[in-house]
């Protein structure tokens, strides 16, 4: 970064930011949630994460070196993030070969086909996740039960899965809530789900660290969470027997993970605050629509991918005012 | 030699799917297996061959202003023939191709060749052109269908290659068609460049 | 030969001739393939019936049976070996599939147990819902097998809803739809068997 030619008038402020540094700050921010996932799901979580990271790094190196014939940029940390995010998005009991295929889809299709870091339209980790979700729906939706759930159950549904299932069977919300974890449990991370989505609290802590280090700005996460919260509250107030309380929507599933770590990906999100808010609200609205009316229980990954596609359009229409322009 | 050129250009140089990007709807829609691709390709080839020949025969009898409706009627007639014959003699293939058989009528390749080639050339050239483009289309569909079938259901021409427990389902679904087609076009471009 | 002018009369004449020839040709082809299409359709149906029933030599008359749970009636095919009824094939259906309509041929023997089934038509997701073609007749896994079961012996609902049949992994909706179609088949069988018994004794 430092040897770029700077053409703006002086004085200049020099920061020591580099792609590498920013990427590693994101990695630090994910560590609390990673440690928690190992605590909740056991060593399987670590195994899945290591395989995903190794596969992403290996595919980036191999494809760049032998197919694209460019100097591999493995050390910039972006493939490392993709690997961890990919692992965060799968159940811990997933077979190793599925993660490898998912990593290939993430790096090969999601990132390098577009030309590598900075050129990809879609978030690579989400491309990998959606690829796996559509390809291996059975394995991607059998979540191992968490420690506190007792030994007799091998698999457990996610809270969102339980809600969807219950509502489609015509049960009322109060009947369904009996089989749901409490909202405090969900907040802290005692629920079934993918590796990285179980503890909303630790994800928020990671997000605050990134905010403090100026890796992300508040606009996207707040816009996503606020729009989901407001829409969920509105439906809940109108008919509390058919729509669950907004707390379930905010703290369950991958919403926090998506809003804080995946929607904020610098490459695939709009550049200025106004655009970021449009983008965030779009994600929130699509997510809640899929959760309430779609056939999948969770929709954040589809929502982010759809809004990724709109990012160039948003960037075109929401430009910052040029200095001196009207 | 000239006729050979009319025939062979459909495979690589002017391949309707990989180069001209025509007829995308059946290309993406029916290629979930190699057999489907083959059936669709051959049905389209028959229609192309026959309509090209008939149109080049009658081209001087048809006034310019009613050219397109006349061509479409001729094409639609041959498509309906294919549809009836398939329904009668290969009902299972007809069932799996479903709506896409009648849709050959609106396949851009067929009308495109009628307009661009058959209405300007003689019968023999038009026949070779139709056959070449049709077989090129078939080749593309079988390739696409074969790759999707192997990756997405672990079979090729309905012969099991590996266990269904290890298939990547995405490839037999719609997104798989787009992804595989994209990479095939990239590979073809690479080959053509060299 | 010069190209024909685009005068009004030329255009009308050309279009008329083109459509007339096309229509005549199609009429001829239709006439030619009509019987073959009919035969192919019948063959597909009778092959499905053969797969779901014990050996039989003759199919009785098709009856349309109205069932209480659906607005449409279902077709029922009684099958005889000699003079004896060996079973009834029911062409049952459901609209509750993940992608809507599913048509299934279900064979029920004279003791009222399911003998076999064959999925005729569906548009479920390949690799997920489409597994129903084999999932419910896996004799190695009694939990998911429906063959040899009857509504008297087991509850035709997925185990998640309190029934006795294990659903296809990750395809609960398709499984529910499948069992819904099975229940409809038994319903039709119950209605029909009353009439057939009367007919049998009179033979």
Query: pLDDT truncated to tens, each residue of chain B (194 aa)?
Result: 577 777 777 777 778 888 888 888 888 888 888 888 888 888 889 998 988 888 888 888 888 888 888 888 888 999 999 888 888 888 878 877 877 888 888 888 888 888 888 888 888 888 888 888 888 889 889 999 899 888 888 788 877 877 777 888 888 888 888 999 999 888 888 888 87
Looking at residues A162-190, what average pLDDT do you find?
66
User: CB–CB of A135 and B168 under 8 A?
Assistant: yes
Chain A residues closer than 8 Å to C169 by CB: 138, 142
Q: What is the largest CA-CA distance in chain C?
A: 82
Domain residue limits at A105? 21-140
The pLDDT-based confidence of A236 (bands split at 50, 70, 90) is confident
**Cβ distance of C25 and B81 shorter than 8 Å:** yes
Q: Other C-beta atoms within 10 Å of A12: how many?
A: 7
Question: Nearest-CA residue of chain B relative to C24?
Answer: B77
Angle between helices A43-62 and A19-41 (to 10 degrees): 150
A73/A106 same-domain check: yes
Q: What integer pLDDT is reported at residue A179 of this predicted model? A: 65
C-facing residues of A in 133-192 (CB < 8 A) are 137-138, 141-142, 165, 169
Contact A302, A270 (CB under 8 A): no
**In the predicted model, is pLDDT for residue A97 greater than 80?**
yes
For A169, name the nearest residue in chain C, comparing CA atoms only: C161
B70 Cβ under 8 Å from any chain C Cβ: yes
Question: Which residues from C are below 8 Å from B154, CB to CB?
Answer: none
User: Quick one: tokens of A264?
Assistant: 């904020």
Indicate the SS3 state at residue C3. Answer: coil
Mutation to test the C interface, candidates B59, B62, B80, most C Cβ within 10 Å: B62
Query: Are A180 and A312 found together in one domain?
Result: yes
Residue C81's beta-bridge partner residues?
Answer: C84
Do B81 and C11 count as a contact with CB atoms less than 8 A apart? no
The verdict on B190 touching C (C-beta cutoff 8 Å) is no
Quote the tokens at residue C44: 């597909």
**One domain for residues A312 and A170:** yes
Instruction: State the helix-helix crossing angle for B123-153 and B174-193, rounded to 10 degrees.
Output: 120
Contact C25/B77, CB-based, under 8 Å? Answer: yes
Question: Based on the domain organization, do A60 and A178 belong to the same domain?
Answer: no
A202 within domain boundaries: no
The 3 state secondary structure assigned to chain A is CCCCCCCCCCCCCCCCCCHHHHHHHHHHHHHHHHHHHHHHHCHHHHHHHHHHHHHHHHHHHHHHHHHCCCCCCHHHCHHHHHHHHHHHCCCCCCCHHHHHHHHHHHHHHHHHHHCCCCCCCCCHHHHHHHHHHHHCHHHHCCEECCHHHCCCCCEECCHHHHHHHHHHCCCCHHHHHCCCCCHHHHHHCCCCCCHHHCCHHHHHHHHHHHHHCCCCCCHHHHHHHHHHHHHHHHHHHHCCCCCCCHHHHHHCCCHHHHHHHHCCCCCCCCCCHHHHHHHHHHHHHHHHHHHHHCCCCCCHHHHHHHHHHHHHHHHHHCCCCCCCCC
Min Cα–Cα distance to chain A from C9, Å: 53
Mark yes or no for CB contact C127/B62 under 8 Å: no
Neighbours of chain C (3+ CB pairs under 8 A): A, B
As beta bridge partners, residue B115 has: none
The per-residue pLDDT for range A239-298, each reduced to its tens digit, is 877 777 787 788 776 788 888 888 888 888 888 888 889 999 999 999 888 888 877 777
What is the 8-class DSSP label of residue C98?
A: T
- Å between C81 CA and nearest CA of chain B: 29
- Give residue A216's pLDDT band: very low, low, confident or very high (50, 70, 90): confident
Closest CA to A241 of A167, A312, A132: A167
Terminal Cα distance for chain C, rounded? 77
Phi and psi at residue C40, to the nearest 5°: -60, -40
Cβ-Cβ pairs closer than 8 A, A with C, add up to 12
Examine the pLDDT at A31 and tell me if it is beyond 70: yes
Report the Cα C78 to chain-centroid distance in Å.
15
pLDDT score at A306: 92
User: Which has the closest alpha carbon to A133: C176, B168, C129?
Assistant: B168
Provide mean pLDDT across the span A195-217: 83
For residue C121, count other CB atoms closer than 10 A to its CB. Answer: 11
C42 touches chain B (CB under 8 A): no
Instruction: Calculate how close chain B gets to C195, using CA atoms only, in Å.
Output: 35
For residues A130 and A225, state if they share a domain: no
Q: In this structure, are A61 and A181 located in the same domain?
A: no
**So what's the ipTM on this one?**
0.80
HEC letters along chain B:
CHHHHHHHCCCCCCCCCCCCCCCHHHHHHHCCCHHHHHHHHHHHHHHHHHHHHHHHHHCCCCCHHHHHHHHHHHHHHHHHHHHHHHHHHCHHHHHHHHHHCHHHHHCHHHHHHHHHHHCCCCHHHHHHHHHHHHHHHHHHHHHHHHHHHHHHHCEECCEECCCHHHCCHHHHCHHHHHHHHHHHHHHHHHHHHC
Q: Is the pLDDT of residue A51 over 50?
A: yes
Beta-carbon neighbour count of residue C28 at 10 Å?
A: 11
Last residue of a domain, one of A109, A140, A171: A140
Residues β-bridged to residue C121: C103
Question: Quick check: helix, strand or coil at residue C95?
Answer: strand
The whole-angstrom separation of Cα C44 and Cα A183 is 55
Radius of gyration of chain B (CA): 17
Q: What is the mean pLDDT of residues A77-89?
A: 87
Interface contact C170-A165, CB threshold 8 A: no
Of A140, A175, A203, which residue constitutes the final position of a domain?
Answer: A140
> Chain B within 8 Å of C26 (Cβ-Cβ)?
yes
> Using the beta-carbon criterion (under 8 Å), do A142 and C161 form an inter-chain contact?
no
Task: Retrieve residue C125's tokens.
Answer: 């997701």
Q: What is the pLDDT of residue A153?
A: 43
List, in sequence order, every beta strand (DSSP E) within chain C: 58-59, 63-66, 73-81, 84-97, 100-109, 114-121
Residues of B in contact with C19 (CB under 8 A): 73
Q: Do A19 and A76 form a contact (C-beta atoms < 8 A)?
A: yes
Band the pLDDT of A28: cuts 50, 70, 90: confident
d(CA B119, CA B57): 9
Nearest to B56 by CA among B5, B6, B9: B6
What's the pTM value of the predicted model, to 2 decimals? 0.80
Is the same domain home to A25 and A167? no
Note whether C128 contacts A137, CB cutoff 8 Å. yes
Q: How far is CA A146 from the centre of its chain?
A: 21
> Distance between CA B192 and CA A109 in Å, rounded?
22
Residue A33 has pLDDT above 80, yes or no: yes
Contact residues, chain C, for A295 at CB < 8 Å: 98
User: Which residue bears the tokens 């078939």?
Assistant: B138
User: Average pLDDT, stretch A193-207?
Assistant: 79
**Dist. CA C138–CA A63, nearest whole Å:** 43
Residue A14 in domain: no
Q: Kindly state whether C47 is in contact with chain A, defined as any CB-CB distance less than 8 angstroms.
A: no
Q: Which of A97, A113, A135 would you mutate first to test chain B, the one with the most B CBs within 10 A?
A: A135
Looking at the structure, tell me whether residues A167 and A100 fall in a common domain: no
How many separate domains does chain A show?
2
Nearest neighbour of B173 by CB, restricted to A113, A134, A136: A134
With beta carbons under 8 A apart, name residues in chain B contacting A97. Answer: 166
Whether residue A205 is contained in a domain is answered as no
Rounded mean pLDDT of A109-125? 86
Question: Is residue A156's pLDDT more than 70?
Answer: no
Q: Are B113 and B133 in contact (CB under 8 A)?
A: yes
Is residue A261 in a domain? yes
Q: Per-residue pLDDT averaged across A197-218, rounded?
A: 84
- For residue C96, the distance in angstroms to the closest alpha carbon of chain A comes to 12
A188, pLDDT greater than 70: no
B62 in reach of chain C (CB within 8 A): yes
Q: What are the chain B neighbours of C99 within 8 Å (beta carbons)? A: none
Q: Which of the four pLDDT bands, split at 50, 70 and 90, describes residue A66? A: confident
**Nearest in space to A111 (alpha carbons), one of A63, A183, A49, A173:** A63
Among partner residues C14, C18, C37, which is closest to B88 by beta-carbon distance?
Answer: C37
List residues bridging with A163 in a β-sheet.
none
A109 at interface of B, judged by CB pairs closer than 8 A: yes
- C40 contact residues in B (CB cutoff 8 A): 87-89, 91
B63 to C33: CB separation less than 8 angstroms, yes or no:
no
Q: Do A268 and A121 share a structural domain?
A: no
Q: What is the pLDDT of residue C110?
A: 78
Query: For residue B57, what are its two tokens?
Result: 């025969």
Using a CB-CB cut-off of 8 Å, the residues of chain A touching C128 are 137-138
Counting as low any pLDDT under 50, the low residues of chain C are 1, 201-203
> Distance from first CA to last CA of chain B, Å, rounded?
24
Cβ within 8 Å, pair C170-A138: yes
Q: Do C172 and A165 touch (CB under 8 A)?
A: yes
Instruction: Check if A95 contacts B (Cβ < 8 Å).
Output: no
Alpha carbon of C139: minimum distance to chain B alpha carbons (Å): 19
């Amino acid at each position: 970064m430092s040897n770029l030619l700077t053409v703006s008038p002086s004085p200049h402020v020099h920061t020591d930011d580099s792609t590498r540094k920013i990427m590693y700050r994101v990695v630090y921010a994910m560590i609390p949630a990673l440690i928690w996932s190992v605590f909740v799901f056991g060593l399987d979580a670590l195994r899945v994460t290591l395989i995903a990271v190794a596969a992403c790094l290996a595919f980036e190196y191999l494809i760049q070196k032998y197919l694209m014939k460019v100097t591999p940029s493995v050390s910039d940390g972006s493939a490392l993030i993709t690997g961890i995010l990919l692992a965060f998005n799968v159940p811990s009991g997933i077979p190793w070969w599925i993660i490898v295929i998912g990593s290939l889809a993430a790096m090969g299709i999601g990132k390098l086909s577009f030309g590598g870091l900075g050129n990809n339209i879609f978030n690579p980790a989400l491309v990998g996740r959606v690829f796996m979700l559509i390809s291996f729906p059975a394995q991607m939706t059998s979540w191992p039960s968490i420690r506190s759930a007792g030994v007799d159950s091998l698999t457990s549904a996610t809270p969102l899965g339980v809600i969807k299932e219950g509502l489609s069977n015509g049960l009322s919300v109060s009947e369904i809530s009996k089989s749901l974890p409490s909202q405090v449990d969900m907040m802290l991370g005692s629920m079934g789900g993918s590796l990285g989505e179980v503890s909303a609290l630790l994800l928020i802590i990671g997000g605050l660290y990134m905010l403090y280090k100026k890796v992300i700005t508040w606009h996207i996460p707040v816009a996503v969470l606020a729009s989901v919260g407001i829409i969920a509250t509105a439906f809940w107030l109108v008919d509390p027997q058919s729509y669950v309380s907004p707390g379930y929507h905010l703290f369950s599933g991958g919403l926090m993970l998506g809003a804080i770590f995946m929607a904020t990906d610098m490459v695939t999100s709009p550049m200025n605050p106004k655009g970021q808010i449009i983008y965030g609200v779009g994600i929130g609205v699509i997510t809640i629509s899929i959760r309430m009316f779609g056939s999948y229980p969770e929709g954040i990954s589809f929502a982010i991918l759809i809004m990724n596609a709109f990012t160039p359009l948003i960037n075109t229409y929401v430009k910052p005012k040029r200095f001196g322009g009207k | 030699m000239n006729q050979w050129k009319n025939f062979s250009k459909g495979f690589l140089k002017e391949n309707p799917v990989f180069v001209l990007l025509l007829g995308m709807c059946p290309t993406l829609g029916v290629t979930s297996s190699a057999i489907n691709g083959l059936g669709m390709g051959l049905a389209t080839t028959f229609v192309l061959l026959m309509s090209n020949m008939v149109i080049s025969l009658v081209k001087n009898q048809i006034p310019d202003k009613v050219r397109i409706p006349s061509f479409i009627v001729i094409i639609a007639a041959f498509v309906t023939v294919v549809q009836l014959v398939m329904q009668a003699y290969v009902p299972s293939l007809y069932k799996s191709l479903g709506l896409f058989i009648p849709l050959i009528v609106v396949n851009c390749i067929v009308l495109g060749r009628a307009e661009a080639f058959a209405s300007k050339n003689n019968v023999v050239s038009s026949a070779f052109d139709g056959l070449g483009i049709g077989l090129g289309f078939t080749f593309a569909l079988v390739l696409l269908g074969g790759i999707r079938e192997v990756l997405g259901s672990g079979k090729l021409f309905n012969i099991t290659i590996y266990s269904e427990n290890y298939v990547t389902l995405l490839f037999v679904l719609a997104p798989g068609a787009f992804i595989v087609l994209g990479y095939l076009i990239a590979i073809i471009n690479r080959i053509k460049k060299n | 030969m010069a190209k024909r002018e685009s005068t009004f009369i030329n255009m009308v004449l050309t279009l008329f001739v083109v459509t007339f020839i096309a229509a005549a040709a199609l009429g001829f082809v239709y006439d030619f393939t009509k019987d073959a299409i009919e035969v192919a359709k019948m063959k597909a149906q009778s092959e499905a019936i053969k797969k779901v029933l014990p050996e039989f030599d003759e199919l009785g008359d098709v009856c349309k049976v109205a069932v209480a749970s659906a607005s449409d009636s279902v077709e029922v095919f009684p099958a005889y070996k000699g003079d004896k009824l060996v079973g009834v094939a029911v062409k049952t259906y459901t609209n509750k599939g993940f992608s809507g309509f599913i048509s299934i041929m279900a064979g029920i023997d004279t003791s009222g147990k399911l003998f076999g089934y064959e999925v005729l038509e569906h548009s479920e997701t390949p690799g997920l819902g489409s597994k129903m073609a084999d999932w419910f007749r896996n004799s190695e896994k009694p939990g998911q097998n429906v063959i040899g079961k009857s509504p008297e012996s087991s509850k035709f609902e997925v185990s998640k809803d309190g029934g006795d049949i294990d659903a296809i992994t990750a395809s609960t909706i398709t499984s529910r739809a499948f069992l819904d179609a099975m229940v409809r088949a038994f319903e039709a069988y119950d209605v029909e068997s009353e009439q057939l018994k009367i007919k049998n004794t009179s033979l």
